[in-house]
Structure 1
């Protein structure tokens, strides 16, 4: 069995090469240790300054991106989650995270890192499988998404599509 320092170096090296997230379970099998040991190794790597992101599908190394970044305010029911996320992806966006305002903790951020329609389907299935409460359910469906996109035209298309579906959170104009 390899020691902790070597294992952490191997985890980091694997993440530097990875195109897709790598789960703690797959690292655990590779190194012959428990999943919890891997979670601890990653926590130590993150504490030492490594930019490792934990997603629902596994660990990723944060990479510098040339893409533009914005936050969108949205509101929808839990049943509309897949529709909302697919709409963003279909119109050229990547969903980096979800942010909600919590009365006790302030801003709570959940990393999503959804790039493809398959990523969205996997996320939605996992949420159903785990039977968990979505962060947006803490705030009557109102939340923010940090999204990445190539051009302002993409951002316009994303906002327009979400608005048409009644998902974009907009000022309600009353006359």
Structure 2
């Protein structure tokens, strides 16, 4: 696509086409470069597309067009975790090394309520990319808002994988025990 200015509706249709054709997340910067506008314009376009009920998911890796089959991974569980920011990579690697897909992270802020961010991390490469992105930005992890306590929604093809991942997190001291 050339970088000539296109009408906003046409640009949003082109963005939908890009997302539908892409299997990997597309960053706002990548989309902005493809259509010749600023990243902030893309953020606005995404908000408008979501308002029209387009199933676009914003993840730490970029935007994804969600088809119904992408959400289901067999078994799903929410786990409560605690760790220092520098242990984020270790926690996520434990999960993905056990065949678990880390869907999201949620914190319960005392003033603003619940915040959930889509992670969509399934392997060590994605963990490394996420950790580098956090380190290179000035943004804090959501868990820093709650002194390290957070929830993850995790999925796997078999329930045993979720059980094994939980045991490994507990052994590493990352699982919030019921005693807390």
TM-score, with length taken from structure 1: 0.93
Match of 1:112 in 2: 119
Could you say what secondary structure the match of 1:69 adopts?
A: strand
2:28 equivalent among 17, 24, 30: 24
1:40 equivalent among 44, 49, 56: 44
1:91-110 counterparts in 2 under 5 A? 91-110=98-117
2:72 equivalent among 66, 76, 80: 66
- Residue 63 of structure 1 deviates from its aligned partner by 3.0
Q: 2-side partners of 1:123 and 1:73: how far apart?
A: 20
Could you say what secondary structure the match of 2:111 adopts?
A: coil
- Residue 93 of structure 1 deviates from its aligned partner by 0.9
Match of 1:135 in 2: 142
Q: 1-side partners of 2:58 and 2:77: how far apart?
A: 21
Q: 2-side partners of 1:34 and 1:171: how far apart?
A: 47
Q: Structure 1 residues 66, 101: closer, same or farther in 2, change over 3 A?
A: closer
Matched residue pairs, number?
A: 173
- Residue 62 of structure 1 deviates from its aligned partner by 2.2
Tell me if 1:87 matches 2:91.
Answer: no
2:178 equivalent among 149, 168, 171: 171
- Residue 79 of structure 1 deviates from its aligned partner by 1.4
TM-score, with length taken from structure 2: 0.91
Unaligned runs of 5+ in 1: none
- Residue 66 of structure 1 deviates from its aligned partner by 3.3
Could you say what secondary structure the match of 1:57 adopts?
A: coil
Q: Please, what is the CA RMSD of the aligned residues?
A: 1.4
- Residue 171 of structure 1 deviates from its aligned partner by 2.2
Unaligned runs of 5+ in 2: none
1:161 equivalent among 151, 155, 168: 168
- Residue 92 of structure 1 deviates from its aligned partner by 0.9
